[in-house]
Amino acid sequence: MSLTRYGYRNAISGFFEFPTDNARRILPAGLEPVELHHGTSIFSMTVFDFTESEVGAYGEAVMSVIVVPLVKPGERLPKSAFYPYLVATTTRAAREHAIERWHLPHWMEDVEIAFEPQGNRLTAKVAADGAPVAEMAVGDYSWNPVSHLYQSFMRDGDKSYLASITMEGEQSEHEEETGRVRLHEHAFNKDLAVSEVYDVPFREIWMRNGAQTFQPLVQLETA
Amino acid sequence: MEAAHKKEERKSVFSDYDYSNFYYGAGDDPVNLLGPFREWYQEAKPNGYYLYSEPLSSAPATHVQVRNGKTGAVHDLLNLASYNYLGISYREEVKQAAIEAVNKYGLGASGSPILSGTFDIHEELAREVASFKAKDAAILFPTGYSANVGFISSIMRSGDTIFCDQYSHASIVDGAILAKSKTVFFRHNNPLDLERKLGGVRGKKLVVVEGVYSMDGDVCVLPEIVDVAKRHGARVLIDEAHSTFLFGANGRGVAEHFGLDQEVDFHLGTFSKSLGGQGGFVCGGRDLIDYVNAFGRSRFFSCNLAPPLVAGLRAGLAIVEGEPELRAKLWSNVAYMRRRFAEEGIDIGKSTSQVMPVLVNNDAKVFAVAEKIQDRGLYLQPVTYPAVPKHKSRLRISVSAAHTEEDLEQAVRVIASVLREEGICR
């Protein structure tokens, strides 16, 4: 079985409350949003600082909705599952690679991604077309080595896919509500009712010095 | 070496997951999650989850007999876990009233409250509760959960909007789900966020708060919440599960404490906390109660409260009204515990009530801390994610008027010594 590995220096995620109505507008039929509370789903922004991959080093921003994982008897239970509805990369090579191999929906121009450490916080700034689209800051807590399984669902035309992804590295995860996101009015964020995304993440995950490993893509009968 | 590796792998099954991981799971069979849950729970239970649901073999008094969930041995422990805030459930007059009711009525009501299950003592209890709360009328529910679910879904509908504190009890959330209303959560005890979320919303609006929040023991900032709600034309429901019979000059609750009895539209309470019984109630005007009687499905599709229980509740209510010194003793005990915890450097967060979270703030250690505390003679439970946010794990303490100062001092000393040994406090 051939695995695809992406080494990273930093990967930061924020989990934000947003209306389930908005989540359902984004999700294709067959995928259900995980609700934090009744009527409140989870928008996730993850920004990677990849240092090694088949297409070299690059930055990547992934905008996702957290969805119900697929559970099969005898298989390892995933920590969570997500539906990435928009991926943006800093290089064309990375974008073409991810579209071809993983069927991920992309912002079709290079974006600029800058990481700005400040004390125990890390801020990622994403700009497209020369304009800012999103800035997200997360804080750290305590660091522990982890190896967690996640699922990513993709839709490409009438075909549905599942990628099982292992995230390894040092992880800080907490719900201290110290982070923040600013989503700018920009075509990049057209799928979100920006004013209804709560700007403080209820969960902040920061991983560093690790690797993201994809198992081969699986085509699903239904999504 | 291989065995050690396997042990490490097995440990990670427990530590990598929690209850939240077993709630959602797509697939083609509803039982697909049972296997992964069983595998996790087999590890979780001996690692501390056995502390939940350990059976008692005595009354929920200040000292209880508890069967250890790991060893099976029965221990006499100092009870800091029961809701019996006024020590009423085992009072002689309460037990006697229940015994007499058993002799008169038998065991159960044997019917729905709108059909054959209403007895004379149900009507008497409802009248007495309304009188105690200084309202026109009251209606009884089989549990506090049922009261929230039934009341909220009786008055709110699809197209309406319910605004709930983010730390709302499950019964409030489930009531909102059953009402099919749009549900909006505001940040905990935060009137500014409530104001932001109420802005521009049209139609029927209901704001739901709790008098005392059960995981943090903090009191609702009711004056500010009511002010915001009224300015936006929203009705206010207060769930006083943990505050009725305790707060306010007459024990009516947090609304009375703040002088807002009239401004709050709907008053809900339970009999399972301060009265040490079971059941819930809603108080208000006659029109409201008649309407809820007609549309509170969780109530009339359940059997009515058992008559012996109702008799015991009436006796308990009489004690509350006749012995205000019980409330004074409770608040004296609360003040003692707050002072002693502060002296020992123990963090109880924002609690200002009889519910006190001893913050451990370490999800990996909270079960070991709780085990050690139980081994040294205290009965209390750990609370961890997802019941509270990650790394906000705690030991939840319920102070009772029945505790003596010696009981409380013993509790503080045991907790402080364990927290120091575990490096939780200095």
- Final residue belonging to a domain, choices B306, B322, B338: B322
* H or E element that contains B408: helix B405-421
A145 CB within 8 Å of a chain B CB: no
Question: B300 and B166 share a domain?
Answer: yes
Q: Which of B270, B298, B322 is the last residue of a domain?
A: B322
In this predicted structure, what is the pLDDT of residue B10?
40
Query: Would residue B142 count as lying in a domain?
Result: yes
The pLDDT of residue B191 is 98
Q: Judge whether B286 lies within some domain.
A: yes
Mutate one of B23, B24, B156, B384 to test the A interface: name it (highest A CB count within 10 A): B24
List B residues 161-180 in contact with A (Cβ-Cβ < 8 A): 164, 166, 173, 176-177
User: CATH homologous superfamily for A4-220?
Assistant: Acetoacetate decarboxylase-like (2.40.400.10)
Shared domain for B260 and B345, answered yes or no, is no
Last residue of a domain, one of B322, B337, B367: B322
The reply to whether B193 falls in a domain is yes
Q: Which residues 174-193 on chain A approach chain B with CB closer than 8 angstroms?
A: 174-176
Q: Give pLDDT, residue B187.
A: 95
Output the domain CATH number for residue B189: 3.40.640.10
Contact assignment for A32 to B36 by CB distance below 8 Å: no
Tell me how many degrees the CA angle B340-B346-B351 measures, rounded to the nearest 5. Answer: 85
Closest CA to A115 of A61, A168, A177: A61
Q: What is the CATH number for B57?
A: 3.90.1150.10
The partner residue sitting opposite A71, judged by closest CB among B25, B164, B166, is B25
User: Token match 């402080």: residue?
Assistant: B416
pLDDT tens over chain B, length 426 residues: 334 344 444 445 677 899 999 999 988 899 999 999 999 999 999 999 999 999 999 999 999 999 999 999 999 999 999 999 999 999 999 999 999 999 999 999 999 999 999 999 999 999 999 999 999 999 999 999 999 999 999 999 999 999 999 999 999 999 999 999 999 999 999 999 999 999 999 999 999 999 999 999 999 999 999 999 999 999 999 999 999 999 999 999 999 999 999 999 999 999 999 999 999 999 999 999 999 999 999 999 999 999 999 999 999 999 999 999 999 999 999 999 999 999 999 999 999 999 999 999 998 899 999 999 999 999 999 999 999 999 999 999 999 999 999 999 999 999 999 999 999 987
A106 close to A95: Cβ distance less than 8 angstroms: yes
Residue B275 CA to residue B311 CA, distance in Å, equals: 12
One domain for residues B307 and B333:
no
Q: Which of B17, B36, B183 is closest, CB to CB, to A71?
A: B36
Same domain, B407 and B364: yes
Q: Are residues B66 and B97 in the same domain?
A: no
pLDDT at A221: 82
What are the Cα distances from residue B89, in Å, to B175, B181, B285, B313? 28, 37, 29, 9
Residue B261 lies in a domain: yes
Instruction: State whether B391 and A39 contact (CB < 8 Å).
Output: no
Asked if A115 reaches chain B (Cβ–Cβ under 8 Å), the answer is no
Regarding whether B171 and B297 lie in a shared domain, the answer is yes
The answer to whether A121 contacts chain B (CB < 8 Å) is: no
**Residue range A122-157, pLDDT digits in tens:** 999 999 999 999 999 999 999 999 999 999 999 999
Note the pLDDT of residue B133: 98
Q: Which residues of A touch B164 (CB under 8 A)?
A: 37
B chain contacts of residue A71, beta-carbon cutoff 8 Å: 25-27, 32-33, 36
**Which residue of A lies nearest to B193 if distances are taken between CA atoms?**
A198
Residues of A in contact with B33 (CB under 8 A): 71
Q: In 3-state terms, what secondary structure has residue B196? A: helix
Contact A39 B184 (CB under 8 A): yes
In a domain, B350, yes or no: yes
Helix residue spans in B275-390 (DSSP H):
286-295, 297-300, 307-322, 325-343, 366-375
Sheet with strand A121-128: strands edge to edge: A112-118, A121-128, A131-139, A180-183
3-state secondary structure of B9: helix
Asked whether residue B283 falls in the same domain as residue B407, the answer is no
Which chain A residues are Cβ-neighbours of B385 within 8 angstroms?
Answer: 175
DSSP run (H or E) holding B227 = helix B222-231
- Regarding whether B309 and B170 lie in a shared domain, the answer is yes
Cα–Cα distance between B125 and B130 in angstroms, integer?
9
Q: A199 at the B interface (CB within 8 A)?
A: no
Instruction: Examine residue B163 and state whether it is found in any structural domain, yes or no.
Output: yes
How many Cα atoms within 13 Å fall on the side-chain side of residue B216? 17
**Residue among A73, A79, A175 minimizing CB distance to B35:** A73
- Decide if A89 contacts A23 (C-beta within 8 A): no
Q: B188 at the A interface (CB within 8 A)? A: no
CA distance A14 to A200: 8
According to DSSP, the β-strands at B280-284 and B266-270 are antiparallel
Of A32, A72, A146, the CB nearest to B32: A72
Verify that B55 and B116 share a domain, yes or no.
no
Mean pLDDT of A6-23: 98
Distance CA A157, CA B93 (A): 73
Query: Does A173 contact chain B (CB < 8 Å)?
Result: yes
Residue B12 has a pLDDT of 53
Task: Based on the fold, state whether residues B187 and B129 are members of the same structural domain.
Answer: yes
Residues from chain B contacting residue A38 (CB–CB below 8 Å): 173, 176-177, 183
B171 within a domain of the structure (yes/no): yes
Who among A32, A34, A77 is closest to B17 (CB)? A77
Quick one: closest CA in A to B197, which residue? A196
Is B336 in the same domain as B308? no
Which tens digit of pLDDT belongs to each residue from A72-95?
888 899 999 999 999 999 999 999
Burial (CB count within 10 angstroms: exposed 0-12, middle 13-18, buried 19+), residue B177: middle
Strands A144-156 and A80-89: parallel
Shared domain for B200 and B283, answered yes or no, is: yes
Q: Does B25 sit within 8 Å of A79, measured CB to CB?
A: no
Chain A positions touching B173 (Cβ under 8 A) are: 37-38
Total domain count for chain B?
2
Give φ, ψ of B171 to 5 degrees.
-65, -30
Output phi, psi for B248, to 5 deg: 90, 160
Mean pLDDT of A25-35: 96
**ipTM attached to this prediction:** 0.87
What is the residue range of B387's domain?
A: 48-79+326-421
- Please report which helix (H) or strand (E) contains residue A59, including its range: strand A58-67
Across-strand partners of B268? B239, B282
Instruction: List the Cα angle B4/B7/B10 in 5-degree steps.
Output: 155
CA distance B417 to B406: 16
Say whether A34 and B17 touch across the interface (CB within 8 A): no
- Residue B243, in any domain of the structure: yes
Q: Give the residue on B whose Cα is nearest the Cα of A222.
A: B27
Cβ–Cβ pairs < 8 A, chains A and B: 63
What is the reported pLDDT for B13?
64
Distance CA B221, CA B223 (A): 6
Chain B residue numbers with beta carbons less than 8 Å from the beta carbon of A146 are 16
User: pLDDT at position A222, please?
Assistant: 61
Average pLDDT over every residue of A48-52: 98
**Does residue B46 belong to the interface with chain A, where contact is any CB pair within 8 Å?**
no
